[in-house]
A and B are shown apart, each in its own frame.
Chain A
Amino acid sequence: MKRMLKYTLKRLFIMVVTLWVIITLTFLLMISIPGSPFNTDQASNETVQANLEAHYNLDQPYYIQYLLYIKSIATFDFGPSIKQPNQTVNDLLSRGFPISFELGIITIALAVVSGILVGIIAALRHNGFLDYVTMGIAVLGISIPNFILATILIQQLAVNLEIFPTATWRSPAHMVLPVLALATGPMAIIARLTRSTMLEVLTQDYIKMAKAKGLSPWKIVFKHALRNALMPVVTIMGTLFAGILTGTFVIEQIFAIPGMGRYFVESINQRDYPVIMGTTVFYSAFLIMMLFIVDIVYGILDPRIKMHQKGGKSG
């Protein structure tokens, strides 16, 4: 337990450093793109613009601005949005995040659970009809980008057949299409990976040994095989989470979902610096947390993976 705590603290420190690197890079990118939040405003004259810049501290030298950003992040107060009057960045985040989170979590849950199940079924029916059908669909799922799939789904299921609503985020029925569009790719990747590792694990000696113990096929698959087969799946989970996260930007745009993704994209276009900073930090922190959880799960699944440096004794 003490080791676990030490490991967690070490990881937390690394996470903070990672976050700082991301913040700094984002800041550098932000100041290097030309333009300012007020350029597009036709009504503003030079005095107004200077006043506005002073109000948002944009007239300060870059290192002061940088320190101000760091301070705002450290205090979890990202300040007011430049483009959305009377709204702080925190307002935007607290409104957008629950929706984006819902979309992301449902997508991940669907992709992981159904991907693994399909993979197992395909492996158990190796070279059978189900194997060919599911893997054929999986190849399609990997090949079609989510924004294409989203438009196809809208056209067929929402416009032609009128089964689901076309856009927005209000009821469970509204969630079906965006989640499907977003989950199909990761689901297909997980299914194919689960299938191939499962096939490999099923030929291992310890599976034969489990059979020789007279265990039921159910126990052999779920207790002995799956745990080992999931290791590579857990490994790619981090990458998939990142993929789903960036996928939400596009999907939220297509389905007009009022999540964080929209603010993120809009803020970049409008040079809404505080919002860019706030959303980036938020997304990064979230992804880093997910990766941390993945690593913890990895350690739980395989006892050989040590959370600490000193190895166990061998007899």
Chain B
Amino acid sequence: MERILEVNDLHVTFTTYGGTVQAVRGVDFHLDRGETLAIVGESGCGKSVTSNAIMRLIPSPPGKITKGSIVFKGEDVTTYSEKKMRAIRGVDISMIFQDPMTALNPTLTIGTQLMEGLKEHKKITRAQAKEKAIEMMDLVGIPNPEERLKQYPHQFSGGMRQRIVIAIALICDPDLLIADEPTTALDVTIQAQILELFSTIQERTGVSIILITHDLGVVAKIADRIIVMYAGKIIESGTKREIFYQPKHPYTRGLLNSVPRLDTKEELKPIVGTPPDLFSPPKGCPFTARCPYAMEVCDKVYPAQATISDTHHVDCWLQDERAKWLLAAKSLQT
């Protein structure tokens, strides 16, 4: 399979009056053509910063990619000039935003906003652009596209707006689609429809998707592989099956436990505590303070990556040979 994207040792910092925030601290992952990768984690763990870094949309200053590379179709985009980057945005890599109520410009018609990317990047006549726009409206399931193109965002419901945002993202046939919490702001019923739409689109266009979310239900529906981020690092990665059925990192387990379930009457188990302050991230594993399995070493040294299978990796001291007894002991207790 063709490799679309490879992120190597990415570091992103934000310089503020209070000091430097290390938002992303050494992230490695890759994405193949036609694949859906989910990045999960709680708020402030660096998911969105990572995705914005790929688009080079981090506001700079204060944000800065301090280290690492983002290789998109064989070329490192971190070295690109702003002008060269503009030629990629919207054409090869597109982005879908969280809140469809604010992502569309209230003063321009849907048609204008839909066709504008196309006109910017492709040599195309007005009639062709309109034809393509109508085709996209059809693809995302908006009835009477021709008439709807002339309307303004306030004349659409939230779900419809998100469909339009998706249509805008897809109109130039991108290779990579980054969806930053695309369903968070929607009703549950609309969420399901939008997720369905993602699957349909991927089938038809073969686009690769990076899905950023904190909703594991969404992940279960459409992701192929999952990356779990915590405090600016990837602490576990694997296929959907591996993460859902054999989670290795205590944090991943905590996340899975805090998903409400209908089949038991057990109380929801939240992860106690809050993520560490990224102004001065801890030397060791950042989850130590909240981890029920924490050992002395956790606080002092960051664990080496343990390989569970070809696709499943985890950064945790519990995977060390010398710690296996602890896991056994703890599992006896519960």
User: A residues touching B (Cβ–Cβ < 8 Å)?
Assistant: 204-206, 208-216, 219, 223-224, 227-228, 301-304, 312-315
Contacts and interface: CB of A to CB of B under 8 A. Distances in A.
- Residue of A209, A215, A219 with most partner-chain B CB within 10 A: A209
Contact of A215 (B95, B109, B116, B156): B116
Contacts of B107: 227-228, 301-303
B105 A228 contact: yes
Interface in B32-89: 55, 57, 86-89
B152 A216 contact: no
B106 A214 contact: no
B157 interface: yes
Contact of B90 (A214, A223, A304): A214
Interface string B288-309: 0000000000000000000000
B89 A209 contact: no
Interface residues of B, number: 36
Given A206-B105, A224-B108, A211 B89 contact: yes
B89 A213 contact: yes
28 contacts: A205-B99, A205-B102, A205-B103, A206-B102, A206-B105, A208-B57, A208-B97, A208-B103, A209-B104, A212-B57, A213-B120, A213-B168, A214-B87, A214-B121, A215-B86, A215-B117, A224-B105, A227-B105, A301-B107, A303-B106, A303-B109, A304-B106, A304-B154, A312-B152, A314-B154, A314-B155, A315-B156, A315-B157
B116 A212 contact: no
A204 B90 CA distance: 18
A216 B86 contact: yes
B55 A212 contact: yes
Contacts of B55: 212
B13 interface: no
Contacts of B88: 214
A228 B91 contact: no
B59 to A, nearest CB: 9
Given A312-B155, A314-B156, A314-B157, A212 B99 contact: no
Contact of B103 (A209, A219, A315): A209
Nearest to A304: B154
A203 B179 CA distance: 19
A209 B103 CA distance: 6
Contacts of A205: 97-99, 102-103
B155 A313 contact: yes
Given A212-B57, A214-B120, A224-B108, 16 more contacts: A204-B102, A205-B98, A206-B105, A209-B105, A209-B165, A209-B168, A212-B89, A215-B86, A216-B120, A219-B120, A303-B109, A304-B152, A312-B152, A312-B155, A313-B155, A315-B148
A214 B117 contact: yes
B106 A302 contact: yes
Given A304-B154, A314-B155, A314-B156, A214 B102 contact: no
Contacts of B98: 205
B103 A206 contact: yes
A303 B179 CA distance: 29
B162 interface: no
Contact of B89 (A214, A219, A301, A303): A214
A304 B109 CA distance: 11
